[in-house]
Structure 1
Amino acid sequence: MAEKNYRVLVINPGSTSTKVGLFDGETEVFSENVAHSAERLAQFGGISEQMPYRRDTILEMLDAHGVDLASVDAFVGRGGGLLPTPGGTYAVNEVMLRHSHDGANGIQHPAQLGPQLASEFAQAAGGKPAFVVNPPDTDELCDLARMTGVRGVYRRVHLHALNLKETAIRHAASLGRRYEDCRFVVCHIGGGISVSAHDRGQMVDGNDIVGGDGPMAPTRCGAVPVVELLRYLESHTTGDARALCMKTGGFVDLLGTSDALEVSRRAAAGDAACKRAWDAMIYQICKTIGEMACVLEGRVDGILLGGGMVHNDGLVADIRRRCEWIAPVTAYPGEFELEAMAAGARRVLCGQEEPRTYTGVPVFTGFDD
């Protein structure tokens, strides 16, 4: 009997738009970036208060495409606002809805609307399944990766887990192997930059992209020596420092722009400041790839590059020049987020994977001794 082509609707909320895609099996029926009025969004006090407005805007688009929610087998939302949890596909439950509504992880981000919208549409479709797949707070760090030299202070992880894991799954398949049997260093290179070590299906190490860790990025400062940060705080606020980690660091602070394409063009045209910042970012990416290769004890099946900046051939060539002695470097420009969300749901619907239960208990709270 042929395997059923499950229809899956995926929902990925962003700051002023929501990416929505409909998949029939592995085939994308359509995807659309549903724009939301910035003026309307500004009227809401918090992220979760935007939910009815975003829902209605998305429903208008689905109606224009002739999509009947009852024809959809499952709904997947981006899993923002959750506490650290292992990777996988999670059924949306009441604990998850409460945490996504409140932003239990302390980071207010539109992605926390994902579980809420998926649940709302699933109920409207007659009680269909609703899922999240490899949420942003996916945490599979090994114990050694968590340690610092300060008692009670631990390394935490925020990564582009969804795209990182999907890139690794796809590359393993291209080798005729399973993700669970491979070791990869996987990067997402965009507005934020994730560099991660994947050891046989577990993302055992990586940088905290919202915590001032890893390479600098267009909007993020990356790792800064603690003493220099203390000196910075003598004339700035802690709020200023937090903003450098997520919004105002990197190219924004150094060059006054977050446009990586503009920076690369200016660098190529001879702008010394842009060339220094561009080259330093690539240098730091390569240095972090080397760290992750050491985590995997040098047994690396591939170095995989994803994200928007990977469309830049010069960036890919520079990373190959510095890192290909470790393992083959393969570029996957752009992202697979919608495809990854649909694939996670299909694996559960087809019985290839058991859905996980979100308990709301963080995967790590500290060591006992």
Structure 2
Amino acid sequence: MKRIFVINPGCTSTKVAVYEDENPVWTSDGLHDPAEIDKFSTINEQYEYRKDFVLNLLKEAGIPLKFDAVIGRGGLLKPLQGGVYAINELMKKDLWNAKHQHVCNLGSLIADEIAHECHCPAFMADPVVVDEMMTRARYTGLPFMKRESIFHALNAKAASRRYARSIGKSYEELNLVVAHLGGGICVSAHHNGKVIDVNNALNGEGPIAPERSGTLPADQLVRLCFSGKYTQHEVMKMLSGNAGCQALLGMKDMREIERHALAGEQPFAEVLEAMLYTVSKQIGAMAVALWGKADAIILTGGIAHSKYCVEEIKKQVEFLAPVVVLPGEGEMRSLAFNALGALNGELPIQEYV
């Protein structure tokens, strides 16, 4: 039995868990006092606070620093292949100096320090910058613009591996379309263990989402940018954050939106229908990326808990391939799954270079 400690920093929490093999034996949502977080002017300044917070959670729960591995959520590093990575000095340097500051950058840094105290390996797996896109998927119609791969790689790949195992196959021998349905929505095409195409879920490309705009008409976006009414920061928030359902309905809670929609209230019903339509269209596009030979379409993420949303998507895409529902974000489970696979020799441990 392997004991694995999992660390997942978020904007308002640092979730932690202890797993024995694939079974969680202790978890904490690790919610932070907003006033404490607001004291810091940069993400990096939160490091000592969050590390001490995690250590105190373990101490209060009476859990000794005795683990076979510690794994942290990956950060906004340079583009890399998917998989499990041993945390090394270069990775830590790049996380400290990352161009994009996000609290997820601290996950691997904290994991490495705690692992050092435990005399065990420290891992990171499938960060959002996993980039395995085929060359033709990168092209746009302008020579100085290329499509980028930024998506929910951790959950998309772990859900794919769980599905493959459930049918007695390996992830690397399947063609899968995976739709991660959360605050941002990404739909990825998985071919023989590689994500060969995916929409940029960070910056609004792809389907309409609870807080992402989805792909917009280019001419209207250009006119908006040059209208003089908005700053660059304000326009970026229109793509990600204050966008999608949040902009169209004034809310992003999908349970509330669904409740209003099922009661026949407008514009809730129409907006939800439009969002699910754009998701289905993106699934169709990724099926094309797999030459129409998808073995399954996997629906995962928080919205996949909704029977209504799942059924509406299924109506539009199940002619392409069987639809499999694996609801939930699954980040903690996915991290533990990757660490266990690395410890057991089932997943190769890669070097960050």
8 Å CA contact retained: 1:304, 1:331? yes
Match for 2:344: what amino acid?
A: C
Give the aligned partner of residue 348 of structure 1: 342
CA–CA distance in structure 1, aligned partners of residues 231 and 260 of structure 2: 32
Q: 1:147-188 CA deviation, whole Å, 9 max, x = no partner?
A: 111012100011100000011001111111100000000011
Structure 2: tracts of 5 or more residues without a match: none
Identity of aligned residues (%): 39
Give the aligned partner of residue 80 of structure 1: 75
1:36-185 mapped onto 2 (5 Å cutoff): 36-69=32-65, 71-102=66-97, 104=98, 106-126=99-119, 128-185=120-177
CA–CA distance in structure 1, aligned partners of residues 217 and 351 of structure 2: 39
8 Å CA contact retained: 1:268, 1:275? yes
Structure 1 runs of 4+ off > 6 angstroms?
Answer: none
CA–CA distance in structure 1, aligned partners of residues 253 and 348 of structure 2: 41
What RMSD in Å do the two structures reach over aligned CA positions?
1.1
CA–CA distance in structure 1, aligned partners of residues 43 and 76 of structure 2: 10
8 Å CA contact retained: 1:79, 1:136? yes
Give the aligned partner of residue 352 of structure 2: 358
Q: 1:244-269 CA deviation, whole Å, 9 max, x = no partner?
A: 22211101111111211111111112
8 Å CA contact retained: 1:310, 1:316? yes
Secondary structure (helix, strand or coil) at the match of 2:104 reads: helix
Match for 1:200: what amino acid?
A: N
Tell me the TM-score normalized by structure 1.
0.93
Q: 1:71-107 CA deviation, whole Å, 9 max, x = no partner?
A: 20111001112111000100111111111122x2x32
CA–CA distance in structure 1, aligned partners of residues 151 and 105 of structure 2: 15
CA–CA distance in structure 2, aligned partners of residues 9 and 245 of structure 1: 35
1:242-257 mapped onto 2 (5 Å cutoff): 242-257=236-251
8 Å CA contact retained: 1:23, 1:29? yes
Give the aligned partner of residue 252 of structure 2: 258
Q: 2:268 aligns with which of 268, 271, 274?
A: 274
8 Å CA contact retained: 2:8, 2:107? yes
* 1:354 CA displacement: 2.5
* 257-266 vs 199-208, which moves further: 257-266
CA–CA distance in structure 2, aligned partners of residues 321 and 81 of structure 1: 36
* 1:238 CA displacement: 2.0
Secondary structure (helix, strand or coil) at the match of 2:29 reads: strand
8 Å CA contact retained: 1:219, 1:244? no
Secondary structure (helix, strand or coil) at the match of 2:287 reads: helix
* 1:290 CA displacement: 0.2
Q: 1:274-305 CA deviation, whole Å, 9 max, x = no partner?
A: 11211111000000000000000111110000
Match for 1:88: what amino acid?
A: G
Aligned residues: 351
Q: 1:200-232 CA deviation, whole Å, 9 max, x = no partner?
A: 100111100122210011111010011010122
CA–CA distance in structure 2, aligned partners of residues 232 and 262 of structure 1: 30
Give the aligned partner of residue 236 of structure 1: 230
Q: 2:288 aligns with which of 272, 284, 294?
A: 294
Match for 2:164: what amino acid?
A: A
Give the aligned partner of residue 3 of structure 2: 7
CA–CA distance in structure 1, aligned partners of residues 218 and 232 of structure 2: 13
* 58-67 vs 217-226, which moves further: 58-67
CA–CA distance in structure 2, aligned partners of residues 283 and 163 of structure 1: 22
8 Å CA contact retained: 2:177, 2:189? yes
Structure 1: tracts of 5 or more residues without a match: 360-369
Match for 1:31: what amino acid?
A: T
Secondary structure (helix, strand or coil) at the match of 2:147 reads: coil
